[in-house]
Amino acid sequence: MKFRVPLFDGNRCKWIHVINTKRRGDQPQNAQFCAFRVPVPICRAKPRSSRGVEYSCTINRCIIILPRRVRRKFRLTRFFYRGTWRPWSAVAKRISSNDRRELLLSFYGPVSLLFLLSMWAAGLVLGFACLYRSLEIPIKMEDGGTGFLTYLYFSGSTFFTLGLGDVLARSWTGRLLTVLEAGMGLGFLAIVIGYLPVLYQAFSRRELNISLLDARAGSPSTAAELLRRHFDGDEFVELSAFLREWERWAAELLESHLSYPVLAYYRSQHTNQSWLGALTTILDATTLVMVGIDGTPAHQAQLTFAIARHAVADLSHVFNTKPQSPPKDRLPPEELGRMRSNLGRNGIFLQDGDAAVQKLNTLRRMYEPYVHALSEYLLMPLPSWEVALRSADNWQTSAWERIAHL
């Protein structure tokens, strides 16, 4: 691939960065890695004008690892998670203790990732072993064995670059495949080393805002409590900045969980918190603001609602969870009236009337079927609109001392 790049800093050739951002398909599933990176360019200088020197640079090779959406009929990772999550969640449903159930569910994300990486490696080893066997590659073994297990051992030793020397390929075809498999093994190791930090950094960024939500909306978080804690008696304090920050958080959640769906199985540190519960709380709170509350940033609430709803809709598509309305209304008329009265006693007045109720129900229908479907699939309970009995926040509790009521 050739580029003609004008340079204006003497006779030094600048680097040219090429990134392929084309996406195939519209179904975000696994993260496929494609290779790019700018390499050593071959340059020849030809003076063209007094302004600089034009170089004709030939890009030889690219090596950047990029996650991208893929759409195929057969997706090994998809079958792996569908085949393992269902029995795992079925066992978890049988556990009556909430703490023990959450403990079991919290193991699934990290454990499944380790098994997935092991499955990828085992698949490559098995594939090369079948290739050696089908081509009848002559190999030299100390005990003289030539069965499939010998080829499997040879493939594993080559992939993990053990270098024991007890089994060797005796033909040039076998040696060529040996070099190819050894290189693929090293490349697989490099991808894993680069893959895990990115994954855990995305998880850490997600959990940061969820932890901050504890003091701002309670534990578990609710929309009414969020509004109440941002109201100082006269006006809402920093509510617009808060919603703007959560707009960015929802966008990062959408991007990271589309590229790495396994992050959805990683659960929060506290059993009464979850990324789905936090996202639902933000949707509930922005819905109330959009319905009508004096002094609230309605425009910013619309922007935050839009990206949050986009996130739950796309993630519902990723996990193939068909949207379905909750069997029990999350906000029946009597609870809505009680919440309106409680907010009114704190100086927060929610718009009343048939038009307001209709708008509220319309907005709820835009996201509640999606969050309910994800809740049923991931076994993450949804928060209520308002807590019936206030409990201590996570920051007020400790395993070493009694609750400090402040």
pLDDT score, position 27? 41
Taking the complete model, does pTM exceed 0.85, yes or no? no
Higher-confidence position of 243 and 391: 243
What residue type is 234 in one-letter code? D
* pLDDT tens by residue, 91-129: 999 999 998 999 999 999 999 999 999 999 999 999 999
Question: Residue 253 — very low, low, confident or very high, per pLDDT cuts 50/70/90?
Answer: very high
The two tokens of residue 57 are 């640079």
The two tokens of residue 240 are 């617009």
Contact status, residue 267 vs residue 109, Cβ threshold 8 Å: yes
The two tokens of residue 55 are 């170089």
Q: What is the CA radius of gyration of the chain?
A: 28
* pLDDT tens by residue, 309-341: 999 999 999 999 999 988 899 999 999 999 999
pLDDT surpassing 60 at residue 269: yes
pLDDT surpassing 90 at residue 207: yes
Nearest to 362 by CA among 309, 295, 307, 300: 309
Rounded Cα distance between 95 and 271, Å, is 15
* pLDDT tens by residue, 174-202: 889 999 999 999 999 998 898 899 999 99
The distance between the two most distant Cα atoms of the chain, rounded to a whole number of Å, is 87
The average confidence (pLDDT) of the chain is: 81
Least confident of 23-32, 99-108, 109-118, 150-159: 23-32
pLDDT surpassing 70 at residue 36: no
Least confident of 8-22, 143-157, 197-211, 271-285: 8-22
Average pLDDT of the residues in 21-25: 41
What residue type is 34 in one-letter code? C
pLDDT surpassing 70 at residue 370: yes
Average pLDDT of the residues in 229-252: 94
Q: Domain ranges in the chain?
A: 2-68, 79-170, 202-396
**Within 10 A of 135 (CB to CB), how many other CB atoms are there?**
13
Average pLDDT of the residues in 276-282: 97
Nearest to 259 by CA among 60, 39, 83, 21: 21
Average pLDDT of the residues in 166-173: 85
Higher-confidence position of 23 and 368: 368
Higher-confidence position of 18 and 257: 257
